[in-house]
Amino acid sequence: MIVTEESVVIDRPAPEVFAFFQDPGNVTLYMTNVITYELISGEPGEVGSLVHGVVKVAGRQLPITEETTGVEQDRYLRRRGTDSPVPYETETRFDPTERGTRVTFHQESGSLGGVFGTLTDTLVAKLYARDVRSNLEHAKALLESEATS
């Protein structure tokens, strides 16, 4: 199993940060490795809703279908890949802090099973963790700049 976990503190209240991350329309705004991400059934951020997208990992474009499997308002979002070359589950947590909200992205993936050719799971995991960190920092910049606009 491959585990990726990154977090960042965003200087905004948890309900605001949660609403931003819950909206599938915002994903391509802050996730630079996501090419497309579109709601295909259900309501945004509701259990059972599905999105289809294309993500770029280690230079490869991978189609995904993702289901929301758990939601607690302003606390967490859980998703899993239902149709993806690599099986995965994610949890994004939103924890209030003195300065705002700590957003923690946690993903558990199965072996990449040769999806990336000769690249090892370890190398791809490091590249992906870098993307996740960058995406969280980008979301932080977007949300904090909205606060000052």
Encode pLDDT of 61-97 as tens digits: 889 999 999 999 999 999 999 988 878 999 999 999 9
Look at residues 102, 96, 123 and name the one whose alpha carbon lies nearest to residue 112: 123
The whole-angstrom distance between residue 16's C-alpha and the CA centroid of its chain comes to 17
CA distance 50 to 69: 10
Please state the pTM of the whole predicted model.
0.88
Q: What is the model's pLDDT at position 119?
A: 56
Measured CA to CA, the distance from residue 143 to residue 130 in angstroms comes to 20
Q: Which long-range contacts (CB under 8 A, 24 or more apart) does 72-78 make?
A: 73/15, 73/18, 74/14, 74/15, 74/18, 75/14, 75/18, 77/18, 77/21, 77/22, 77/45
**In which band, very low, low, confident or very high, does the pLDDT at 58 lie, cut at 50, 70 and 90?**
confident
Position 24 pLDDT exceeds 60: yes
